[in-house]
Amino acid sequence: MLDVLLYREGTRRPWFYRVEIAMNLFAEASVIVEWGLMGGTPCRRVSCHSDLRAASQAADSYRNRALRRGYIRS
What are the chain's domains? 2-73 (2.20.140.10)
pLDDT at 49 over 90: yes
pTM of this structure = 0.88
Q: What is the mean pLDDT of the chain?
A: 92
Check if the beta carbon of residue 5 is closer than 8 Å to that of residue 74. yes
- Helix-then-strand count for the chain, H and E: 1, 5
Q: For 16-28, what is each residue's pLDDT tens digit?
A: 999 999 998 988 9
**H/E element, 52:** helix 52-68
Spatial distance between the Cα atoms of 13 and 21, rounded to a whole number of angstroms: 27
Give me the pLDDT at residue 10, please.
72
When pLDDT is averaged across residues 40-64 and rounded to a whole number, the result is 95
Give me the pLDDT at residue 13, please.
85
